[in-house]
Amino acid sequence: GAVVSQHPSRVICKSGTSVKIECRSLDFQATTMFWYRQFPKKSLMLMATSNEGSKATYEQGVEKDKFLINHASLTLSTLTVTSAHPEDSSFYICSARESRGGNQPQHFGDGTRLSIL
Amino acid sequence: GQNIDQPTEMTATEGAIVQINCTYQTSGFNGLFWYQQHAGEAPTFLSYNVLDGLEEKGRFSSFLSRSKGYSYLLLKELQMKDSASYLCAVSDSNYQLIWGAGTKLIIKP
């Protein structure tokens, strides 16, 4: 159980393109989903916390107009990288936490490797 | 401030035992998680400790001492596939995860 599906797994596109990444919890409901960014050999960096039905909470230094987050249902959150540039190239990972209450672990999607040419 | 410390890298031999330590200082504590992350892949959940003591799950065990702000992950009967980074994360008073930088474990034959 507790499977999180992230799509696409890899994107290569030209500078200026907007890229949408989907994160789905397949067998559980997730009130809260998280979006991370990870550079090679570095730790996870939390970008934003996505709450179903409300605005996402962005970490300091993360541009909300650049990284649009929508959490329209209890099983789906999307991250859109708008007008992507080469410096946005990175490994983006989503995670979802079950809505059962208490302190549930975050379960991660497989990640999206974004390369902007 | 909030801080999670774990060694950057460790090396161990196939078949042996290795202990990866994690110390933390956070605003509040709602449990400690260990995750495994293979190179180029997303993290996978290994264990969760919220009470003091040892939690055993197969070849992996995780220990917590809240008074000392300390945890360790113990890996027994090491296999080559255990080569990965091991991430320690603490859930703070707001249930936000504070992540350590990870410990890269290298297993040698």
pLDDT at B108 over 90: yes
- Considering only residues B91 and B10, tell me which one the structure prediction assigns the higher pLDDT: B10
The answer to whether the Cβ–Cβ distance between A43 and B102 falls below 8 Å is yes
Residues of B in contact with A93 (CB under 8 A): 42-43
**pLDDT at residue B92, rounded to an integer:** 87
List B22's β-bridge partners, or say none. B71
CB pairs under 8 A between A and B: 43
pLDDT tier for residue B95 given thresholds of 50, 70 and 90: confident
The C-alpha atoms of residue B29 and residue B78 are separated, in whole angstroms, by 31
pLDDT at A11 over 90: yes
Give B15-68 pLDDT, tens digit per residue.
999 999 999 999 899 999 999 999 989 999 999 999 999 999 999 999 999 999
pLDDT at B97 over 90: no
Q: B73 exposed, middle or buried (CB, 10 Å; 0-12, 13-18, 19+)?
A: buried
Give A33-79 pLDDT, tens digit per residue.
999 999 887 888 999 998 888 889 999 999 999 999 998 888 999 99
The answer to whether the Cβ–Cβ distance between A103 and B95 falls below 8 Å is yes
Q: Which residues of A make CB contacts under 8 Å with B? A: 2, 6, 34, 42-44, 46, 49, 91, 93, 103, 105-111, 113
Closest in B40, B97, B100 to A106, CB measured: B97
Shortest Cα–Cα distance, A117 to chain B (Å): 20
Long-range CB pairs of A5-11 (<8 Å, 24+ gap) are A5/A109, A5/A110, A6/A93, A6/A94, A6/A109, A6/A110, A6/A111, A6/A112, A6/B42, A7/A112, A8/A112, A9/A110, A9/A111, A9/A112, A9/A113, A10/A112, A10/A113, A10/A114, A10/A115, A11/A112, A11/A113, A11/A114, A11/A115
User: Once rounded to an integer, what is the mean pLDDT over residues B65-79?
Assistant: 97
